[in-house]
Chains A and B, each alone.
Chain A
Amino acid sequence: MSSSQILKGILEGCLLSIISKGETYGYEMMEKLNSYGFSMVSEGSIYPLLLRMKKEGLVTTSQKELPSGGPKRKYYSLTDKGRDELSEFKERWSDIANSVNKLLGEEG
């Protein structure tokens, strides 16, 4: 697995978590990621991921009119399958994080 693939898996889990906190759209997700310090991902890279997540049935989308008028904006929300995937990701991640932290802690 290349480093970008690991990052993709993590990014997918993070997106699931962001969407689980309430309906949101692409730019807002990116802002949230940035506010947590995810500067290593280019903004556009969330869209191929979102496409895949939708294809896998983890999220659904709906087009909503903006309050300011103008074109519609695409909002994402989590499906039941998406929620299951998120809790699985949380477990997997805490296992990995624990192991890596333990290992690195012993090293130092």
Chain B
Amino acid sequence: MKISKDSREFLENLRLYLFSSGKNGKEIEEIIGELEDHLFEAEKNGKNVEDIIGKTPKEYMEQIANEMSIDIKGLLKYIPIIVIGAFSYILLGDAIRGELEYSVFEMVGYPFIFLFSLLLTSVLFKYVASNKISKIKEWFMFGVMGSTPLVLFIALIFLDRFYHTPAIQLGVVGKVIAIILPILVFVGIAIWSKTWVSIVLPIILFFPEFILDRTDLVESTKLTVSGIIVPVCFVAYALIVMKIEKNKEKKLTEQ
């Protein structure tokens, strides 16, 4: 269906808003499809998106969101997977570097940072989706969103050095588990989500480091090489995925 850019943007923002509010994905697509149908018909008759929603986008989005229940079952499915995935990533990274020691501080801090970041992301997404803000402000928001967990992690590491709390060190069996378990999780997520992301991403991020650590290169050379390889692989992978998605879309529209 061909609708105007303004209408398309409104629908995309509504989708983001409802998604960040924890609504059911299928129900979201249903209401989006219905509104798209309406906007298409309305635009044929010379009306625009502002005529349709009547109020500010934010008010209208709130109204829609209020009539949709929160998809607890869906959230219970996604949040643990995100958290488990992130932990597997940390665990595997540490296992490869051989730094398998965790203080109580870290064990409490990591989950806290994750949940806090998820919450922050949801709040900021909703704000960006429902308010007309400048591109600069939007990028600033996304910057805050992306850097908050990083800043919190650094703070955690410093606090951890400052205040010593009891630590747990994993033995040999622990180390083997710390490598096998994350790999199983990544494969599991890949099968569940039917995408390769959860397998390809850890390979891109860890494999160069893993190989370089086994060479005789100087530390600074290692850093430079992995500093080049990782982003290059990352961009290459993103481009390939985009191309595949575009082809899929083409096929869909041709049908």
Contact A43–B37 (Cβ < 8 Å): no
Picked from A30, A44, A55, A72, the residue with its CB within 8 Å of the CB of B33 is: A72
- B41 at the A interface (CB under 8 A): yes
B253 CB to closest chain A CB (Å) equals 11
Contact A71 B54 (CB under 8 A): no
Asked whether B1 is an interface residue with its Cβ less than 8 Å from the other chain, the reply is yes
Does B223 count as interface, using CB distance less than 8 angstroms?
no
Instruction: For the complex, give the distance between the alpha carbons of A41 and B33 in Å.
Output: 21
* B60 interface residue (CB < 8 Å to A): yes
Kindly state the separation between the CA atoms of A45 and B51 in the bound complex, as whole angstroms. Answer: 11
Q: Is A26 an interface residue (CB 8 A)?
A: yes
Q: Is the CB of A47 within 8 A of B64?
A: yes
Q: Looking across the interface, which residue of chain B has its beta carbon closest to that of A45? A: B54
Cβ–Cβ contact B55 & A42, under 8 A? yes
Contact call B54/A47, Cβ cutoff below 8 A: no
Assess whether A38 is interfacial by the CB under 8 Å rule.
no
A-B contact count (CB 8 A): 56
A30–B1 touching, CB < 8 Å: no
Residues of A close to B101: CB separation below 8 A: none
B interface SS class? helix
Residue of B41, B55, B66 with most chain A CB atoms under a 10 A cut-off = B41
A26-B34, A27-B41, A30-B38 in contact; A71/B1 too (CB < 8 A)?
yes
Point out the residues of chain B lying under 8 angstroms from A73, CB to CB: 37
**B68 contacts chain A at the CB level, 8 A cutoff:** yes
Q: How far is the CA of A74 from the CA of B30 in the complex (A)?
A: 8
Asked if B60 and A44 make an inter-chain contact with CB atoms under 8 angstroms apart, the answer reads yes
What per-residue 1/0 map shows which CB atoms of A17-55 lie under 8 Å from chain B?
Answer: 000000001110010000000000111110110011001
Chain B residues with a Cβ closer than 8 Å to the other chain, count: 24
Q: Within 8 Å CB of B34, what residues of A?
A: 26, 47, 74
A108 CB-CB contact with B under 8 Å: no
Kindly state whether residue A70 has any CB partner on chain B within 8 Å.
yes
Per a CB cutoff under 8 Å, which of B37, B47, B52, B55 touches A25?
A: B37
1/0 per residue, CB under 8 A from A, across B30-65: the answer is 110111111001100001000111110000100110
Interface residues of B in 64-96 (CB under 8 A from A): 64, 66-69
Which A residues are closer than 8 A to B by beta carbons? Answer: 25-27, 30, 41-45, 47-48, 51-52, 55, 70-74
A-B contact pairs, 9 of them (CB 8 A): A42-B52, A42-B53, A42-B54, A44-B35, A45-B54, A51-B64, A71-B1, A71-B37, A74-B34
